[in-house]
Amino acid sequence: MDNYAQNTPLTPQNRNRWTTKQLVVMALMCAIAILLSFIAFPLFPAASFLKLDVALVPSTVVGFAYGPGPGLLVGIACAVAHAAITGNWVGCLMSSIVAVAFIAPSAAIYKRNRTLKGAVIGLVVATICLIIGVTIANLVIDPLFYGMPFDAVLALVMPAIVPFNVIKGVAVSLLTALVYKSISNLITPEKDQVKGR
């Protein structure tokens, strides 16, 4: 992971501006994320509504490359597009919460410390935020929109919801690290590439 070098994705002169290249990368990653969002399967029979997918990977890669804002934009756009196709707007709400919980901390930490250590810390913190955020979201959303008794959802927290999100967080983290290392030199601005490596 020698591509994790100390740099910033945008120089002071072009901060808050997205180049054509960045917009193309974001659109491509969003399209990939939408496709991945339809490849999902349950891990725990007792909680079949918890379906594992890795649609967070492309948006997290964008977050690492360009910062939390673009990463969140791709993640939420994917959630909205998936809901527009399936009609599952409650799922869109949950997917948006997942995106915020995972992408925001991981991208923000990596933006401040663009090293392998920063990437690892960001992904670990993001996984913890994912577990906490999605657990709370399930306790609120499942009884409110799916009619599940609160006690029934609460009973699934330790045997299903927490383990599921640990697995999801680890899977997304590993895939993000692998993908970002492979393509970071292609998608990050040329000014950010460290010379002489």
Domain extents in the chain:
20-40+52-189
Residue 13 scores a pLDDT above 50: no
Instruction: Report the share of the chain in percent with pLDDT over 70.
Output: 87
Q: Is 68 helix (H, G, I), strand (E, B) or coil?
A: helix
d(CA 32, CA 185): 19
pTM greater than 0.95: no
What CATH number matches the domain at 20-40+52-189, 1.10.1760.20, 3.40.50.300, 3.30.70.270, 3.40.50.2300?
A: 1.10.1760.20
What percent helix, strand, coil does the chain show, rounded to 5? 75, 0, 25
What is residue 47's predicted lDDT score, i.e. its pLDDT? 84
What is residue 188's predicted lDDT score, i.e. its pLDDT? 81
Residue 45 scores a pLDDT above 90: no
Mean pLDDT of 102-125: 97
User: DSSP labels for 123-192?
Assistant: HHHHHHHHHHHHHHHHHHHHHHHS---HHHHHHTIIIIIHHHHHHHHHHHHHHHHHHHHHHHHHHS-GGG
pLDDT digits (tens, 9 = 90+) for 50-83: 899 999 999 999 999 999 999 999 999 999 999 9
